[in-house]
Chain A
Amino acid sequence: MRKRNWIAGVIITAVIFTSSMAFAGNIAINGSTTVLPIAQKVAEAFMKEHPDTAISISGGGSGNGIKSLIDKTTDIANSSRAIKKEESEQAKAKGSNPVEFIVAFDCIVPIVHTSNPLKNITLDQLKAMYQGEIRNWKEIGGADKPIVVISRDTSSGTYEVWEEKVMKKERVFPRALLQASNGAIVQAVSKNPNAIGYIGLGYMDNSVKMLSVNGITGSKETTLNKSFPVSRPLYMYTPAQPGGDVKKFLDYMISKKGQKLVEEEGFIPLN
Chain B
Amino acid sequence: MTNIRSRTDKSVRIFFFSVALASIAILFMIMIFLFMEGIPIFKKISIYDFIFGKFWYPTSSPPDFGILPLIIASIAVTLVSAAISIPLGVMTAIYLAELAHRRIAELIKPVVELLAALPSVVIGFFGMVIVAPFLQETFGIPTGLNLFNAALMLSFMSVPTICSISEDAIYSVPVALKEGSLALGATHWETLIRVIIPASISGISTAVILGMSRAIGETMVVLMVAGGAAMIPESLFDPVRPMPASIAAEMAEAPFRGDHYYALFATGIVLFMFTMLFNVIADHVTHKYRQTGEASL
Contacts and interface: CB of A to CB of B under 8 A. Distances in A.
Interface in B251-291: 252-256, 258, 260
Classify the secondary structure of A's interface with B: loop
Given A177-B145, A178-B229, A192 B136 contact: yes
B41 to A, nearest CB: 15
Contacts of A6: 252-253
Interface residues of B, number: 36
Interface size on A, as a range, is: 35 or more
Contacts of A33: 253, 255
Interface stretch (B22-30, B185-193, B206-214, B220-228): B220-228
A33 B57 CA distance: 18
A64 B229 CA distance: 29
A22 B151 CA distance: 53
A142 interface: no
A7 B231 CA distance: 30
A178 B250 CA distance: 11
A192 B133 contact: yes
A187 B143 contact: no
Contacts, number: 93
B142 interface: yes
B132 A191 contact: yes
Given A60-B256, A64-B255, A177-B228, A192 B144 contact: yes
Contacts of B255: 33, 60-61, 64
Contacts of A177: 143, 145, 227-229, 239
Classify the secondary structure of B's interface with A: loop
Contacts of A187: 128-129
B45 interface: no
B100 interface: no
Contacts of A169: 60
A123 interface: no
Interface string A146-173: 1110000111110100010000010100
A60 B258 CA distance: 9
Contact of B132 (A155, A174, A192): A192
Given A171-B60, A187-B128, A155 B250 contact: yes
B143 to A, nearest CB: 5
Nearest to B137: A193
Of the listed residues B133, B143, B231, the one surrounded by the most CB atoms of chain A closer than 10 A to its CB is B143
B250 A191 contact: no
A194 B250 contact: no
Interface in A180-213: 180, 184, 187-188, 191-195
B129 to A, nearest CB: 7
B143 A180 contact: no
Contacts of A174: 55-56, 69, 229-231
A153 B133 contact: no
B46 interface: no
B248 interface: yes
A163 B69 CA distance: 22
Given A178-B241, A191-B128, A155 B228 contact: no
Nearest to A193: B136
A179 interface: yes
B59 A155 contact: yes
A153 B249 contact: yes
A157 B252 CA distance: 12
Contacts of B227: 177-178
B40 interface: no
B145 A194 contact: no
Given A3-B252, A60-B256, A154-B250, A194 B59 contact: no
A153 B250 contact: yes
Nearest to B132: A191
B133 A191 contact: yes
Contacts of A184: 224
Nearest to B63: A154
A119 interface: no
B53 interface: no
A148 B142 contact: yes
Interface of B: 55-60, 69, 128-129, 132-133, 136, 142-145, 223-224, 227-231, 239, 241, 245, 248-250, 252-256, 258, 260
Given A174-B69, A187-B128, 14 more contacts: A7-B252, A33-B253, A153-B250, A154-B60, A154-B250, A155-B59, A155-B260, A156-B253, A174-B230, A176-B229, A178-B229, A178-B241, A193-B136, A194-B143
Interface of A: 3, 6-7, 33, 58-61, 64, 145-148, 153-157, 159, 163, 169, 171, 174-180, 184, 187-188, 191-195
16 contacts: A3-B252, A60-B256, A61-B258, A153-B228, A153-B249, A154-B59, A154-B60, A155-B254, A155-B260, A174-B229, A177-B228, A178-B228, A180-B249, A191-B128, A191-B133, A191-B144
